[in-house]
Amino acid sequence: MVYLKDIPLEEAQARFEAALAAAGLWGVLEQEEIPLDENARGRILAEPVWARLSSPNYHASAMDGLAVVAGSTDGAAPQTPVTLTLPDQARYVDTGDPLPPEFDAVIPIEDIEALDENGGLTGALRTPAAIRLRAGVTPWQHVRPMGEDMVATELVLPAGQQLRAVDLAAAAACGHTRLAVARRPRVAVLPTGSELVAIGAPLELGDIIDSNSVLLAAQVEEWGGQATRCAIVRDDFAALQAVVRELAAAHDLVLINAGSSAGAEDFTARVIESLGEVLVHGVAVRPGHPVILGMLDNGERRVPVVGVPGYPVSAALTGEIFVRPLLARWQGQALDEPDTIEATLTRKLTSPMGDEDYVRVVVGQVGARRWAAPLGRGAGVISSLVRADGLVVLGRGVQGAAAGEPVTVRLLRPRATLEQTILVVGSHDLTLDLLAQWLSRHGRRLVSANVGSQGGLVALQRGEAHLAGSHLLDPETGEYNLSYLPRYAPGVPVRVVGLVRRQQGLIVPPGNPQGLAGLADLARAGLRFVNRQRGAGTRVLLDYELGKLNIDGRAIAGYEREEYTHLSVAAAVAAGRADCGLGVAAAAQALGLDFVPLFSERYDIIVPMEFAESELLAPLWGALQDPELRVEIQRLPGYDVSEMGRLIAEVG
Amino acid sequence: MVYLKDIPLEEAQARFEAALAAAGLWGVLEQEEIPLDENARGRILAEPVWARLSSPNYHASAMDGLAVVAGSTDGAAPQTPVTLTLPDQARYVDTGDPLPPEFDAVIPIEDIEALDENGGLTGALRTPAAIRLRAGVTPWQHVRPMGEDMVATELVLPAGQQLRAVDLAAAAACGHTRLAVARRPRVAVLPTGSELVAIGAPLELGDIIDSNSVLLAAQVEEWGGQATRCAIVRDDFAALQAVVRELAAAHDLVLINAGSSAGAEDFTARVIESLGEVLVHGVAVRPGHPVILGMLDNGERRVPVVGVPGYPVSAALTGEIFVRPLLARWQGQALDEPDTIEATLTRKLTSPMGDEDYVRVVVGQVGARRWAAPLGRGAGVISSLVRADGLVVLGRGVQGAAAGEPVTVRLLRPRATLEQTILVVGSHDLTLDLLAQWLSRHGRRLVSANVGSQGGLVALQRGEAHLAGSHLLDPETGEYNLSYLPRYAPGVPVRVVGLVRRQQGLIVPPGNPQGLAGLADLARAGLRFVNRQRGAGTRVLLDYELGKLNIDGRAIAGYEREEYTHLSVAAAVAAGRADCGLGVAAAAQALGLDFVPLFSERYDIIVPMEFAESELLAPLWGALQDPELRVEIQRLPGYDVSEMGRLIAEVG
């Protein structure tokens, strides 16, 4: 069995580049001529565009008016008009008409008096007998001289330019009809693995949907290539070898996903070895390290191949790091440096020494501070790449970064969208997803981090969020949230507004097989509970109610197993990992589970006064008053919107 | 005749929006379901994507290894190993395999000792009889719990999201096969005008190449629409009316270009009036004011129509201002705010009060200062939109901005490319175009402003450019440039490097019909000369040589007519606007003119020491040593590269 040996990224890139260069494949692949008016947009120029014609290609009138000799208007003034006769001394021209060669200026039609044969004013502005002027013109006034825009032979567009609408128009205007562009690289995307099933095929336990081939093919197209998505090949050396051999004959690059690791069924490296050469197996990059870089060789042609790791985030980053620069090179395109911004890390990051670590982050501007909040770091969590605003790269030799440390974020979204981001930290509620969807239609992006109700208040205190969602019950008063503010967010003046009332209860498997009726049943022997994390409002509620029943949490099996959202609790029950958990009805319904309602509680949003009247949050207040959104939320089981938008208190 | 009355932009937008809303056309047009794995990239989601399945959809092993019950490994340590037998106490799993329900953790294969039936070590890692462990595991270690990535029912992508590769992968992974996206709006682009000829058709005097329909169609596609480029319609009311009526039946939007002004042959407004309603004719925007916004109505359907002005820059801005937001609206897409940066204006701008004025600028970071240098403002100068890095908008009520004033630039290029921009100001030489092309292949953009040799030195002194091109002859010494430095760029330490030697002479029509042989002929009666602007090296040379001949400039007809580049001088001669001008041979050749060589002169580049060793300029020094570039330059007539790259002096 071959074990991976991760080598540094630069070394991997250098080996790949050297092999490509040796094969004559480290430059523009080929060029082709295409008509500039058919799908040329987005293509990369292989040759510069030099103006063939000047534009305008003659002296053109810049106005509807009368062409004259400027000198003949000398002395014209309100009291001393000059009269010129047509067609010898003046001639009508439309905007864009060539200036007749005997004239050198144009007088706009608004500035003349048109005269008939008898010297009287006429409305026949285009065909008067004469014109009277009360102001002179200078030579070349209202004339667009030949070449004003482009002079024949000058450089209009450099090679390597990605063609935009204005580029195409300029090329057309200076006499081009076809343009030499780089041929689009042909890239095969080959999904492999006996566990893979095609999108839409029925799923059995252990099947994995082949979403990576969609990812890689879309990346390739985004970067100018033409992707061929192949049928899934099972883990079979001979079958894989045959397909890869065939693909290499018809493509410029082959991406094999996955089988790039060193497991028993990971054939990719051996197949590449059998058809050419493995240059690199293992790169010190996270996520993504089991990358293979190789070169296929059928004796006539050498074709680069990348063994792409199977985890989706690893696959996406492998595309970014190895495929994108190659496609750019093949099209002669200078890759722009990524746009970066500086931000402050919300929490500590650790990173394996020696790896280049790509950490997905959400970026938010909260008051004067710009925060980068790390998202899930698992290589399998593609949703965190979907949600990410950018990447923080912890380089080789960096073991991590402390909370509060400044970091550079490579942006994955336009900078301006970051200013539309509302950061909500705290307890999770399904309503936040509906709110996020509503806000996305109103120019805002709601990004939520689920750290529990207490965590949200602490985040407000640290200035890390625009608002918090909280449902902290005060056991003394039966009131929500208010008594916790001085403890967790001292000194932060806030507005507390009701969002929903919702039922909390036991999430149980369909049919409630254990016949659970209340919290008292949790201590039952053999029952496996799944809990929420400390600081979560649901946890506070549980502990409060257990206290009333005199039940010790330690007596409940699974009390230590903590999940961070209602849905995760429900997922644990749905998966049979637990027999029950405390959460909201909607989470149970979402996963087809049953629900034993126990309590009704209030979930509020808590907004620092600093942001309450900000333009950023203005749409939020609109959302809370929107009848359609209310209807949608009310449709969730166990939800009540009667207190939605109600001002509970302004504190501090 | 209808005269335009420009109304403020906001008012025009409001009227258009109100009419669209009244027709039920101010929202998503229609949605359609498309497979997510075929050309879905770039489309706009019409419905949110909620997870249908959790991902993973079962508890999955995160490693190749052995599934175990965590509790059974308690106490395992280097000196007290624990042995577990297969298949009851442990079972082999590959990465991604479902965790068998009786187990709750995975031990990576690297961390076990595989044993055969006899308790001896075996290489059969997947099928040992037992395994020995020297460290325990905790529950759920190396397990990806169900829903780790996405939990069924949660919001994965909001409606309005433009689909990226990772979005498609996430949607596939959570169980989707098709996505509801906004239908692409169908937009007709109708070029009109008797002076227009199709791209590639033979040109006669006064013909204008129909480049605008390429521009508008490419813009529409860029913004998600489907463009139909129609055949050119001549200026004929009935023909235009018939075509527009037909287009309205099959499209969501009709763009008519041009005829939108108020000239005799501008039928657009009347055609729209005859088929519906003109809402706006004339918007106080520059360039672009003769815009028509209207609504066609055949009794069954109302279809918006835009009369797009004919000047290409006006057409492009009309697209940006009116078409882009409409297409975004129709696709339910939130339009990102443009990325903006702050910069300092290099020169004064004036703007008509009451107009919203879009000024194209080049942006350069020169040392600590970021400059915005205004480009040609003519509505016909599409090349300036090609070259522009951004737009400075002088709003209504603003009459201009002073040199040195801070301005906000709406970027048209990725921010990072601005840092790769080398600003060269000064005298123009054709070599700069070749150098620009070379540098574009080496990660730099060379942007040149032609203000003459002296102007370039002054710009260095002001810190407005990274280098200047100059060929200022010192009449006293016969040396170039050095003696001018203390005068125009005092206190700026610079490096002076040779670029080319080139011939200057008279640019004359083919065959030299006037038989010109030298400067002495310029004073000839009836001869029309075209001059270069004051401060240009060629002008200095002319005045120096005229002085030697005792010829007074004022005796030369056309001495006051100033052009800013060699090519413009040649263009003036080619157009018959002048009989000769002084310039370089290459400019004459470029336009098929003849050349009377008179002098050889040196053209240097002058680089402030502050930038001489910068990373930005490093490729420039490479260019000057590149043999291929030398060959290319040497190919220009009258050029000599023997001094290219030679250090002439370091001064100051």
C-alpha–C-alpha distance, residues B109 and A353, integer Å: 22
Quote helix, strand, coil % in chain A, to nearest 5. 25, 30, 40
Closest CA to A70 of A102, A43, A35: A102
Reduced to 3 states, what is the DSSP secondary structure of residue B219? Answer: helix
C-alpha–C-alpha distance, residues B531 and B580, integer Å: 9
How far, CA to CA in Å, does B448 sit from each of A118, B433, B436, B465, B563? 55, 9, 9, 9, 16
pTM of the full predicted structure?
Answer: 0.92
A194 token code pair = 């006996």
Strand ranges for B201-345 from DSSP E: 208-209, 226-229, 253-257, 276-281, 285-286, 292-297, 302-308, 340-345
Which CATH number applies to A429-445+467-651: 3.40.190.10, 3.40.50.10490, 2.60.40.1930, 3.40.50.720? 3.40.190.10
- DSSP code per residue over B313-376: HHHHHHIIIIIHHHHHHHTTPPPPPPPEEEEEESS-EE--TTSEEEEEEEEEEETTEEEEEE--
B629 token code pair = 């570039």
Closest CA to B451 of B488, B423, B424, B426: B426
Query: B598-607: per-residue pLDDT in tens?
Result: 999 999 999 9
What is the residue extent of each domain of chain B? 9-30+184-330, 31-56+148-182, 60-144, 340-419, 429-445+467-651
C-alpha–C-alpha distance, residues B356 and A372, integer Å: 37
Q: Do the Cβ atoms of B575 and A58 come within 8 Å? A: yes
B-chain residues within 8 Å CB-CB of A581?
none
Q: Considering only residues 459 to 498 of chain A, which have any Cβ-Cβ distance to chain B shorter than 8 Å? A: none
Beta carbons of A68 and A103 less than 8 angstroms apart: yes
C-alpha–C-alpha distance, residues B590 and A52, integer Å: 10
Distance from CA of A342 to the nearest CA of B (A): 14
Q: Does A380 touch chain B (CB under 8 A)?
A: yes
pLDDT exceeds cutoff 70 at B1: no
CATH topology of domain A31-56+148-182: Molybdopterin biosynthesis moea protein, domain 2 (3.90.105)
A308 forms bridges with which residues in the sheet? A257
B155 forms bridges with which residues in the sheet? B50
A326 token code pair = 């190659």
Q: Which residues contact B486 (CB under 8 A, 6 or more apart)?
A: none
Closest CA to A635 of A585, A583, A593: A585
A198 token code pair = 């095609």
A-chain residues within 8 Å CB-CB of B177?
199-200
Q: How many helices and strands (H and E) does chain B possess?
A: 18, 38
Question: What single DSSP character describes residue A102?
Answer: T
Distance from CA of B652 to the nearest CA of A (A): 35
Model confidence band, residue B264 (pLDDT cutoffs 50, 70, 90): low
Q: Do the Cβ atoms of A576 and B101 come within 8 Å? A: yes
Q: Do the Cβ atoms of A203 and B414 come within 8 Å? A: no
Model confidence band, residue B4 (pLDDT cutoffs 50, 70, 90): low
Minimal Cβ distance to A265: which of B40, B94, B125: B94
pLDDT of residue A480: 94
Q: What percent of chain B has pLDDT over 90?
A: 79
Q: Does A436 touch chain B (CB under 8 A)?
A: yes
B77 token code pair = 């340590």
Q: Do the Cβ atoms of A416 and B96 come within 8 Å? A: no
Give the containing element (helix H, strand E) for B379.
none
Q: Do the Cβ atoms of A565 and B145 come within 8 Å? A: no
B283 forms bridges with which residues in the sheet? B7
Q: Do the Cβ atoms of B265 and A53 come within 8 Å? A: no
C-alpha–C-alpha distance, residues B432 and A153, integer Å: 13
pLDDT of residue A586: 85
Reduced to 3 states, what is the DSSP secondary structure of residue B221? Answer: helix
Q: Do the Cβ atoms of B221 and A576 come within 8 Å? A: no
Minimal Cβ distance to B149: which of A95, A145, A381: A381
Q: Does A127 touch chain B (CB under 8 A)?
A: no
Does 1.10.10.60 match the CATH number of domain A340-419?
no
How far, CA to CA in Å, does B235 sit from each of A274, B238, B400? 68, 9, 38
Distance of CA B562 to the CA centre of its chain: 31
Q: Are both A31-56+148-182 and A429-445+467-651 of the same fold?
A: no
Domain A60-144 CATH class label? mainly beta
Distance from CA of B431 to the nearest CA of A (A): 10
Q: Do the Cβ atoms of B146 and A64 come within 8 Å? A: no
Give the containing element (helix H, strand E) for A69.
none
In the predicted model, residues of chain A with pLDDT beneath 70 are: 1-4, 262-265
pLDDT of residue B41: 97
Query: A405-463: per-residue pLDDT in tens?
Result: 999 999 999 888 888 999 999 988 889 999 999 999 888 999 988 888 999 999 999 99
pLDDT exceeds cutoff 70 at B545: yes
Q: What ipTM did this prediction achieve?
A: 0.92
Distance of CA A199 to the CA centre of its chain: 23
C-alpha–C-alpha distance, residues B423 and B448, integer Å: 6
C-alpha–C-alpha distance, residues A170 and A153, integer Å: 13
C-alpha–C-alpha distance, residues A515 and A517, integer Å: 6
C-alpha–C-alpha distance, residues B290 and B236, integer Å: 19
C-alpha–C-alpha distance, residues B259 and B243, integer Å: 15
Interface mutation vs chain A, best among B59, B209, B560, B591, most A CBs within 10 Å: B209
Q: Do the Cβ atoms of B154 and A574 come within 8 Å? A: no
B-chain residues within 8 Å CB-CB of A95?
261, 263, 310
pLDDT of residue A263: 67
Distance of CA B603 to the CA centre of its chain: 31
Query: B434-488: per-residue pLDDT in tens?
Result: 999 999 988 899 998 888 899 999 999 999 999 999 999 998 888 999 999 999 9
What do you get for the CA distance between the two ends of chain B, in Å?
65
Q: What percent of chain B has pLDDT over 70?
A: 99
Where do the H-state alpha helices sit in B380-499? 382-387, 415-418, 430-440, 452-461, 485-488
Beta carbons of A131 and A66 less than 8 angstroms apart: yes
Minimal Cβ distance to B416: which of A168, A264, A338: A338
Taking only Cα atoms into account, the Rg of chain B, rounded to an integer number of angstroms, comes to 35
Where do the H-state alpha helices sit in A463-584? 485-488, 537-548, 566-574
A110 token code pair = 């608004």
C-alpha–C-alpha distance, residues B189 and B200, integer Å: 18
**Cβ pairs bridging A and B (under 8 Å):** 344
Q: Which CATH number does B9-30+184-330 carry?
A: 3.40.980.10
pLDDT of residue B263: 67
Query: Max Cα separation, chain B?
Result: 117
Strand ranges for A117-182 from DSSP E: 130-133, 143-144, 155-157, 178-182
Query: B210-261: per-residue pLDDT in tens?
Result: 999 999 999 999 999 999 999 999 999 999 999 999 999 999 999 999 887 7
Query: A278-333: per-residue pLDDT in tens?
Result: 999 999 999 988 899 999 998 899 999 999 999 999 999 999 999 999 999 999 99
Q: Which residues contact B52 (CB under 8 A, 6 or more apart)?
A: B152, B174, B175, B176
C-alpha–C-alpha distance, residues B59 and A575, integer Å: 8
Q: Tell me whether the omega of the peptide bond preceding residue A152 falls within 30 degrees of 0, making it cis.
A: no
Minimal Cβ distance to B381: which of A37, A148, A570: A148
pLDDT of residue A628: 94
Q: Give residue for tokens 């088929």.
A: B275
Pairing of strands B285-286, B356-366: parallel
Give the containing element (helix H, strand E) for A64.
none
Query: B122-157: per-residue pLDDT in tens?
Result: 888 888 999 999 999 988 899 998 888 998 888 999
Burial of A137 (0-12, 13-18, 19+ CB in 10 A): buried
Distance from CA of A590 to the nearest CA of B (A): 6
pLDDT of residue A32: 97
Closest CA to A146 of B590, B430, B568: B568
Mean pLDDT of B412-422: 90
Distance from CA of B118 to the nearest CA of A (A): 23
Q: Which residues contact A324 (CB under 8 A, 6 or more apart)?
A: A219, A223, A335
Minimal Cβ distance to A214: which of B1, B153, B168: B168
How high does pLDDT run on average in chain B? 93
